[in-house]
């Protein structure tokens, strides 16, 4: 037999069940429930009924009793789970009719800590004001029992706080010590359970209202972004130190539907403020480009990256998230622990997530940039950047700039065609090499040697076997002729190395 509290809640659910988006498993906006349309006022105990509605089991329609949050995001009472033996059964059918997955793999079933605390707060408040619940059911044909339920509970709470002789009577409006229970008086009553409820909806990582609440198998709930970020640094729960699922599972894990529903229903303004704060943070961050401090990258040249540091895993998730730019800047680190002020923008082509949270990334250089202002965000560098490109190509006869640079080297001016020929011949030698540390550079470009002078300069810059820190100046050069000239100088330096002669002899012997 249901108690009076449960019967009252049943009436509320039967009349005012909110619409729910079962595809996304998150509360959706709906006009099916409107306080204005149903005649509800804004009294705090109307919220008590809404809280009880949100904290009810979708199977038995009662307040949660030792709630278990399943892998689908729905929560049920532990007694509402189907009977099965974990030792012999690997999965079970979800008891929630709205669940799209239906069959769930058996896992460790632990009570949802946050839901359990929320139910305790609501139950305590309902019991403390439950002496007038029977009045609702004395009327054989109650009209709008949901509103009646809330008003009677609130009325008793108000009567208990007034200095009248009888707790069940209210003196006339002419009595200076008591007043009529009109709507304005009811609205002025403040209940502490609201604040307690809001406190329990605080993420224990960021200490803000839960945003996209996700419940772990150990029963603790965090913001999804906070949990993923924490999982980059540790594979255990931030509260109980239980082992967390692998990163791929957490990223695909559905949100907690009951807590999401409760927040959007009971605390819409707080949720809106929280979202506005997050939007402002994203807007401020969008003016800064994330910087990956690693190796040199060049326009048109692919880069293959193994992202394993927690800060860069977070950066990459933000880049590839829906609405993300799918790009980041690459700068080489300097010996003084800073990084070059010239970098290359990388466009993310493909991301392969690994089971432990690491990523294999394939990206292609897009354009070069100068750093105007540096910043930091969650451990990784950011910057306001200024893009720059090559100058328009000069006519072959208009070579004053090239002449000035080349004269410093004590060499005669050269045509672009002659430099392209020299670079191409040297590139073929590198491609024929079977020396691992040279062959690795050739393979890393993952492309055929281009014929276009500009693209050829970047291909050779990425391939030629000299220290990357010596290559930094080439990113600043905006004239193709100057870049080709510098590369020809590098080729001469390489040919003077002690290992180059034996390498050429080895190649001649293999022909």
Q: How do residues 384-415 score in pLDDT, each as one tens digit?
A: 999 999 987 654 444 444 444 444 445 567 88
Q: How confident is the model at residue 163 (pLDDT cuts 50, 70, 90)?
A: very low
Across the range 98-111, mean pLDDT stands at 76
Q: What's the pLDDT score for residue 146?
A: 44
Residue, of 455 and 24, whose pLDDT is higher: 455
Question: With pLDDT > 70 as the criterion, what percentage of the chain qualifies?
Answer: 69
Strand partners, 363: 303, 348
- Cα gap 32→9, rounded to integer Å: 18
Angle, helix 453-463 to helix 480-495, in steps of 10 degrees: 30
Q: Which of 16-30, 102-116, 185-199, 465-479 has the lowest mean pLDDT?
A: 16-30
pLDDT at residue 71 greater than cutoff 70:
yes
Q: What's the pLDDT score for residue 397?
A: 45
pLDDT at residue 247 greater than cutoff 60:
yes
Q: How confident is the model at residue 90 (pLDDT cuts 50, 70, 90)?
A: low
**Cα 456–chain centre separation:** 39
**Cα 386–chain centre separation:** 27
Strands 103-105 and 91-93: antiparallel
pLDDT at residue 183 greater than cutoff 80:
no
**What CATH number does domain 287-388 carry, 2.30.130.40, 2.60.40.10, 3.10.580.10, 3.40.1350.10?**
2.30.130.40
Q: What's the pLDDT score for residue 148?
A: 45
pTM above 0.85, yes or no: no
Q: What's the pLDDT score for residue 271?
A: 92
- Cα gap 330→452, rounded to integer Å: 24
pLDDT at residue 501 greater than cutoff 90:
no
Q: What's the pLDDT score for residue 15?
A: 37
Q: How confident is the model at residue 505 (pLDDT cuts 50, 70, 90)?
A: low
Reading the block at residue 445, the tokens are 């470009």
Q: What CATH topology corresponds to 4-167+181-261?
A: Herpes Virus-1 (3.30.40)
Residue, of 245 and 189, whose pLDDT is higher: 245
pLDDT at residue 149 greater than cutoff 70:
no
Q: Which of 256-265, 382-391, 421-430, 442-451 has the lowest mean pLDDT?
A: 442-451
- Spatial contact of 59 and 80, defined as CB atoms under 8 Å apart: yes
Q: What's the pLDDT score for residue 67?
A: 93
CB count within 10 Å of CB 183 equals 11
* H or E segment to which residue 307 belongs: strand 302-307
What are the sequence ranges of the domains in the chain?
4-167+181-261, 287-388, 404-510
Q: How confident is the model at residue 125 (pLDDT cuts 50, 70, 90)?
A: confident
Q: How confident is the model at residue 312 (pLDDT cuts 50, 70, 90)?
A: very high
Residue, of 104 and 317, whose pLDDT is higher: 317
pLDDT at residue 233 greater than cutoff 90:
no
> Average model confidence (pLDDT) for the chain?
75
pLDDT at residue 22 greater than cutoff 60:
no
- Spatial contact of 197 and 209, defined as CB atoms under 8 Å apart: no
Nearest to 439 by CA among 430, 447, 448: 430
Domains 4-167+181-261 and 287-388 belong to one CATH topology:
no
- Spatial contact of 360 and 371, defined as CB atoms under 8 Å apart: no
């Amino acid at each position: 037999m249901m108690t009076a509290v449960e019967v009252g809640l049943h009436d509320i659910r039967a009349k005012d069940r909110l619409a729910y988006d079962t595809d996304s498993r998150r509360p959706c906006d709906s006009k099916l429930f409107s306080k204005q349309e149903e005649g509800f006022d804004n009294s705090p105990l109307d919220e008590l009924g809404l809280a009880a509605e949100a904290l009810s089991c979708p199977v038995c329609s009662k307040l949660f009793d030792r709630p278990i949050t399943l892998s689908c995001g729905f929560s049920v009472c532990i007694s509402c789970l189907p009977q099965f033996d974990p030792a012999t059964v690997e999965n079970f059918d979800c008891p929630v009719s709205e669940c799209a997955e239906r069959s769930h793999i058996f896992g460790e079933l632990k009570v949802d800590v946050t839901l359990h605390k929320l139910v305790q707060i609501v139950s305590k408040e309902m019991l403390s004001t439950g002496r007038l619940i029977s009045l609702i059911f004395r009327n054989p044909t109650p009209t709008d029992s949901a509103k009646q339920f809330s008003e009677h509970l609130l009325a008793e709470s108000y009567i208990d706080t007034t200095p009248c002789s009888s707790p069940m009577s209210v003196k006339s409006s002419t009595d200076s010590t008591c007043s009529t229970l009109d709507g304005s008086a009811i609205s002025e009553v403040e209940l502490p359970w609201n604040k307690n409820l809001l406190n329990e909806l605080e993420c224990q990582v960021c200490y803000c209202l839960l945003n996209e609440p996700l419940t772990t198998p150990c029963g603790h709930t965090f913001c999804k972004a906070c949990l993923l970020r924490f999982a980059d640094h540790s594979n255990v729960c931030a509260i109980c130190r239980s082992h967390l699922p692998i990163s791929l599972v957490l990223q695909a894990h559905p949100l907690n539907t009951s807590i999401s529903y409760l927040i959007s229903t009971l605390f819409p303004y707080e949720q809106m403020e929280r979202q506005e704060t997050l939007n402002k943070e994203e807007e401020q961050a969008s003016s800064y480009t994330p910087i990956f401090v690693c190796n040199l990258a060049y326009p048109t040249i692919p880069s293959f990256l193994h992202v394993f540091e927690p800060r860069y895993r977070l950066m990459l998730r933000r880049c590839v998230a829906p609405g993300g730019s799918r790009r980041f800047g690459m700068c080489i680190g300097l010996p003084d622990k800073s990084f070059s002020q010239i970098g290359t923008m990388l466009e993310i082509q493909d991301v392969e997530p690994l089971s432990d949270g690491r990523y294999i990334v394939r990206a292609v250089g897009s354009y070069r940039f100068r750093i105007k202002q540096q910043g930091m965000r969650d451990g990784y560098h950011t910057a306001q950047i200024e893009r720059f490109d090559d100058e328009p190509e000069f006519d072959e006869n208009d070579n004053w700039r090239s002449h000035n640079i080349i004269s410093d080297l004590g060499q005669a001016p050269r045509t672009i065609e002659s430099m392209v020929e020299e670079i191409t011949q040297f590139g073929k030698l590198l491609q024929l090499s079977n020396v691992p540390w040279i062959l690795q550079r050739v393979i890393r470009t993952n492309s055929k040697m281009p014929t276009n002078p500009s693209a050829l300069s970047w291909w050779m810059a990425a391939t030629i076997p000299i220290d990357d820190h010596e290559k930094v100046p080439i990113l600043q050069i905006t004239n193709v002729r100057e870049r080709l000239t510098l590369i020809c100088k590098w080729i001469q330096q390489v040919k003077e190395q002690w290992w180059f002669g034996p390498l050429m002899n080895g190649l001649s012997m293999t022909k």
